[in-house]
A and B are shown apart, each in its own frame.
Chain A
Amino acid sequence: MKQYKYFRGGVKAPHYKNTENVETTVMPIPDLIEIPMLHHIGAPCDPLVKPGDEILVGQKIGDSDKYISAPVHTGVSGKVKKINNVLFPNGETVKSVLIESDKKQELHPSIKPPVINSKKDFIAAIRESGLVGLGGAGFPTHVKLNPPEGIKIEYLLINGAECEPYITSDYRESIENSWNIISGINIIMEYLEIDKVIIGIEDNKPKAVEVLTGIAKTSDKIDIMPLKSKYPQGAEKMLIYSLTGKVVPAGKLPLDVGVIVLNVASVAFIASYIKTGMPLTKKRITIDGGAVKQPANIEVFVGTYIKEAISFAGGFKEVPKKILMGGPMMGVSQFNLDSPILKQNNAILAFNEKQSKMPEQTACIKCGRCVSVCPMNLMPVYFDIFNESGDADQLSKLDVLSCIECGSCSFVCPASRYLVQSIRNGKLLVRARGSK
């Protein structure tokens, strides 16, 4: 099947897929893990355990009664040492559960395949599994699967467009775990009564295209569409447009246009959860960057400290100067190496001095490059100007809230303007003013 539409703008980001042929290795159980109570967009969970509690594998340790939230589970057995606080890079402090593992890995009695008789049961089970969007954003999946009254879901789209440089964890997922991807797709099609599935994957990953084409052949309801490799092809709105031609209106969700988008790793997880009842406690991530000795793909427990994951993968060859959770275009730079790995992390990058330093800003030359690459058809140059002058009215008129923070504009700016930073600040200004 040929690509349906091409989104406007976008950039040719470098690939740096150094780990695409590196098979995933499983990291042994660490002595200590620290599981934050927030891995997702939405309300944080409250801890359900207290210091001294003995806990077992798969046990739920945090939950919330808010709709947009997802429970948190432990992947190791052991003893709760402490309820801690972790500082997130956005400045937020979040509670966390510090666990000393006993390496016995005894299963919690609640772990058994969920009983599902209806669509409602299915969505409830997905909530219980703790699944959030594994592609990076971390939106609770059960919310994504639950259409508002009166909306029929037309398409299930599978996102295999891993457009961020360096990251290959989804690629490895497609190759190493293809069987779970097929069964995941079938399970979702069945329970949500969807009869059109399209797998989108960038055409620079021929091996994965081959494997997924095999999957698509198993049913005439499943199609595969190789996509032109262009950043940000994997952004939800761009992917939906490329695969179906549908445009998600500003401020709406894919569900509002009858579409569900799931990442390959999320689909594979759903299959394994339905089979075993084991909630989301492990994650496949790519370790790379100029400061690490051995770029790798590893499977880790959620809550593993960054430094331990990197030292398992081979450690540093240079002094790390920047630590990223996620890719270089949208990833978040960390304050230190002691942050725990989150559910939606798909990569940890450690940059050396040269990679870490961003060039100084110079005067904007009004070249319009930022405007021509913006996939959301926005005018980043004005966001920069009006953020500086603190003009929330103009920012809101120019639709700053529609920006998906893909970073394309900053990436191409010849004056190295910190456009995304201005945009984030501009969004705060608009929200603080309290208008839409």
Chain B
Amino acid sequence: MEHKLYVNSSPHIKDVAKTSNIMFDVIIALIPATIISIYLYSYMAAIIIGVTVLSSVLFETLYNLLTKQKQTVGDFSAVVTGLLLALTLPPAASSIWLGVVGSLVAIIIVKMIFGGLGQNIFNPAIAARVFLTVAFSSQMTTWLSPGADAISTATPLALASNGIVTSNIDLFLGNIPGCIGETSALALLLGFGWLLIRKVIKLDITLTYLLTVVVFSFIIGADPLFHLLSGGLLLGAIFMATDYSTSPMTRNGKIIFGFGLGIITMSIRVYGNLPEGVSFAILFMNVLVPLIDRYTIPKSFGGVKKKNA
């Protein structure tokens, strides 16, 4: 009775965590923001989101087919990228093709060429958004006030640089002009709660980032709540800055990362001539992640402090 036995290194059991489950949880966490955006901008938002997600998935599938690699779309990470990218586009018709171009940049150039999930240096959605902002600046800044009679207008941050104030309640609920998914803080916080409950992310990065912004605002005498609630900060701090492959791995690293994000975001907002600092801050800090990781390697239990690896 000789049976073939499996022989492998321990451990011989695994808990249920799987990459696709994690990505699925992120998608669930983005559902409130998605619903609100469709409510605010009706079918236009739905079309933009649908097209962007589909093209992200398609590009990843095609890339894998053409380069004869194992198909990876099953891990849902392309859906997450597409969804995040769509939520950072303005709610105008031009965003439909912006979404396709953005997906191409995000999936092919930023993610797959670097080696795919886990290997990319930049957050694909953010990098694509920055690319679009630079290349198609007029289309990327066509803001509409939510509602049936959507009219072209400026975002609260742009207004603020002209001294016009928007109410924080409107900011919280999303009743303000902005990108499709950046507008409702409430929806984003619901998603944050889900990510925390499901242990997809920890508090470290998001909390340090937001706290730094609040403290910075206090110091310069600005309204902290206004800065917290406007300009994609929450979307960035909750969903983009916490992206695994483009953020540090240790706790100390995460705190340094969040702090840097806060400082850069506020510096760009206050001293730069751009009203929007979140995307640039995240891209800039993404570059520093390998360095941060290297200098925050912890001391092993019972070991001596190690110099950089």
Contact = CB atoms under 8 A, between A and B. Distances in A.
B-side interface mostly: loop
Contact of B301 (A247, A394, A411, A412): A247
Interface stretch (A119-127, A261-269, A321-329): A321-329
Given A248-B302, A321-B5, A379-B297, A420 B244 contact: no
Contacts of B163: none
B152 interface: no
A411 B13 contact: yes
A319 B6 CA distance: 12
A335 B301 contact: no
B12 interface: yes
B205 to A, nearest CB: 11
Contact of A320 (B5, B202, B297): B5
B198 interface: no
A420 B10 CA distance: 7
Interface string B1-30: 111111111111111011101100000000
A414 interface: yes
B14 to A, nearest CB: 6
B117 A365 contact: yes
Given A321-B5, A335-B7, A366-B244, A358 B14 contact: yes
Interface string A331-363: 111111100000000000001000111110011
A365 B77 CA distance: 10
B14 A410 contact: yes
A421 to B, nearest CB: 4
Contacts of A416: 14, 18
Given A237-B302, A365-B117, A414-B18, A330 B3 contact: no
B249 A371 contact: yes
Contacts of B8: 333, 358, 418, 421
A421 B249 CA distance: 21
A102 B244 CA distance: 64
A349 to B, nearest CB: 8
Interface in A30-72: none
A397 B307 contact: yes
Contacts of A323: 5
B64 interface: no
B164 interface: no
A101 to B, nearest CB: 23
B10 A407 contact: yes
A111 interface: no
A121 B267 CA distance: 74
Nearest to A395: B309
Interface in B263-309: 297-304, 306-307, 309
Query: Which of A12, A13, A411 lies at the interface centre, i.e. has the most chain B CB atoms within 10 A of its CB?
Result: A411
B6 A322 contact: yes
Contact of B250 (A13, A241, A371): A371
A250 B302 contact: yes
Given A399-B300, A414-B17, A414-B21, A368 B249 contact: yes
B119 A367 contact: no
Contacts of A86: none
Interface in B53-88: 72, 75, 77
Nearest to B16: A414
B117 A412 contact: no
B304 A250 contact: yes
Nearest to A411: B11
A169 to B, nearest CB: 18
Given A250-B304, A363-B117, A377 B299 contact: yes
B141 interface: no
Interface string A412-430: 1111101011001000000
Given A250-B304, A397-B306, A398-B306, A362 B19 contact: yes
A322 B12 contact: yes
A130 to B, nearest CB: 26
Interface string A9-30: 0011110000000000000000
A140 B173 CA distance: 67
Nearest to A238: B301
Contact of A407 (B6, B11, B249): B11
Contacts of A329: 10-13
B3 A363 contact: no
B118 A365 contact: yes
A369 interface: yes
A381 B249 contact: yes
Contact of A412 (B15, B116, B245): B15
Interface in B77-127: 77, 116-119
Nearest to A382: B309
A241 B72 CA distance: 43
A402 interface: yes
Nearest to B119: A363
Given A365-B19, A366-B118, A366-B244, A324 B12 contact: yes
A104 B7 CA distance: 38
A331 B116 CA distance: 34
A431 interface: no
Contact of B3 (A165, A250, A320, A362): A320
Given A335-B5, A379-B297, A415-B19, A351 B303 contact: no
A414 B22 contact: yes
**Interchain residue pairs A-B with the least CB separation, the first 5:** A407-B11, A421-B9, A368-B249, A328-B12, A414-B17
6 contacts: A247-B302, A319-B3, A320-B5, A365-B245, A366-B249, A414-B22
Given A7-B301, A377-B300, A414-B17, 4 more contacts: A14-B13, A356-B5, A376-B300, A411-B14
